[in-house]
Structure 1
């Protein structure tokens, strides 16, 4: 599904965060990425999402190099196949919660009763039943995060990318949301990558990887890489 080939990336100030990073994620895998702050976890997620471009290397989705796609083709791929959960939520303030959640459906040509029904299902699933006509300004941070997760899952994407998806949630709500994400991922045969500092969140994944300066490593072998 997703292959990283010799990825390199530096920040604008010249600080290099990713160097010659290669890894292959299997189709249908749910993977958690952990690591120290500043090691490049969110940067890596943005590169995979196509929101930033690597300085070196190649990212392939189903064997297709992202760099080979023009802007329109890349946009169509992201709309149809990707679901995003950002740390900053990016909920549109002028749209209701129902409209925010339904937006990926609308962009993929699904509207009317079918779109409303699916958006309503996801609103219920994240514990916001009956609040479809409310606006983001009426929500707490944790509620906005739940809307962002519902929006990321609503169109049944094949690749879900989530940056600290439970960062603003209390432990009980976080557990419920993670179980919802896992159920949707498995039901739709999707792949998912979450970046998290939470060991509880990481424990819901099929695999946990640690990002270090030496690359991505299984959690049980990361200590040996970090001590080199």
Structure 2
């Protein structure tokens, strides 16, 4: 087996995306190294969520290449790209996207089922996010903060190499948001994952190792102190 530790986790090569003749992303290039945890900030409408959706395969770029672990996702091999995303990525959404008809354990087990992995880790992940003993509960029984914990557990349960988090605290009160952000950071580091956090919150961005500003010129570093 070859060693992928030094291979870039993500490569964006001249990626462009427009909607109804409005250019959201233009010729964007960036390389994310293994183990990097970056936050992306920027004005509303600048393309932060669009960028995550392109990486996750929820949308397709108009031009340019996106590579995960060296494999081009914008080529002809859709089956291989889908399989790689399923195994390689974990996505934490602002709106949780927890399935209401499934128990918490079933929700968190989904990535394990899709990847043919042992299901025991689902209960372990629920415990790690403070929901031990709630495995058979349903989403309607949970608060917003608890739902986001389920979403984090589901995103990380299959040990993906790249975590995408789109405004994961946007629906939470400040105290719960701070707790969730520290949990995300701890789980990312415990799993030696790389991560991209999209946020409008300086407090949220400060939990990342590096902060980038997205504007019409591309991605550029911002200097802010990270929260310990």
Kept after mapping to 2: 8 A contact 1:91/1:144: yes
Kept after mapping to 2: 8 A contact 1:125/1:180: no
Q: Structure 1's 103 and 69: CA in aligned 2 closer, same or farther, altered over 3 A?
A: farther
Residues 1:129 and 2:132 aligned together: yes
Provide the residue aligned with 1:209 in structure 2: 212
Question: Mean alpha-carbon deviation: is it higher for 157-166 or for 177-186?
Answer: 177-186
Higher helix share: 1
Q: For residue 68 of structure 1, give the secondary structure of its aligned residue in structure 2.
A: coil
Kept after mapping to 2: 8 A contact 1:27/1:190: yes
In the superposition, the TM-score normalised over structure 1's length comes to 0.88
Residues 1:108 and 2:139 aligned together: no
Q: For residue 28 of structure 2, give the secondary structure of its aligned residue in structure 1.
A: strand
Provide the residue aligned with 1:36 in structure 2: 43
Aligned residue among 178, 183, 186 for 2:186: 183
Task: Tell me the distance in 1 between the aligned counterparts of 2:37 and 2:85.
Answer: 18
Paired residue total: 216
Shift of 1:133: 0.7
Q: Which runs of 5+ in 1 are unaligned?
A: 222-228
Provide the residue aligned with 2:4 in structure 1: none
Task: Tell me the distance in 2 between the aligned counterparts of 1:141 and 1:101.
Answer: 16
Residues 12-59 of structure 1: CA distance to partner in whole angstroms, max 9, x if unpaired?
A: x22111111111111110000011101010000101111111101111
Q: For residue 165 of structure 1, give the secondary structure of its aligned residue in structure 2.
A: coil
Q: For residue 137 of structure 2, give the secondary structure of its aligned residue in structure 1.
A: coil
Shift of 1:183: 2.2
Task: Tell me the distance in 2 between the aligned counterparts of 1:89 and 1:102.
Answer: 15
Residues 1:21 and 2:28 aligned together: yes
Q: Which runs of 5+ in 2 are unaligned?
A: 1-8
**Cα root mean square deviation, aligned:** 1.7
Aligned residue among 120, 123, 139 for 2:123: 120
Task: Tell me the distance in 2 between the aligned counterparts of 1:70 and 1:7.
Answer: 18
Residues 50-104 of structure 1: CA distance to partner in whole angstroms, max 9, x if unpaired?
A: 1111101111112221122523212211221110112232211211011101111
Provide the residue aligned with 1:72 in structure 2: 79
Provide the residue aligned with 1:197 in structure 2: 200
Kept after mapping to 1: 8 A contact 2:72/2:81: no
Task: Tell me the distance in 2 between the aligned counterparts of 1:165 and 1:127.
Answer: 17
In the superposition, the TM-score normalised over structure 2's length comes to 0.88
Residues 1:159 and 2:166 aligned together: no
Provide the residue aligned with 2:97 in structure 1: 90
After TM superposition, which residue ranges in structure 1, 4 or more long, deviate above 4 angstroms? none
Question: Mean alpha-carbon deviation: is it higher for 137-146 or for 196-205?
Answer: 137-146
Task: Tell me the distance in 2 between the aligned counterparts of 1:153 and 1:144.
Answer: 14
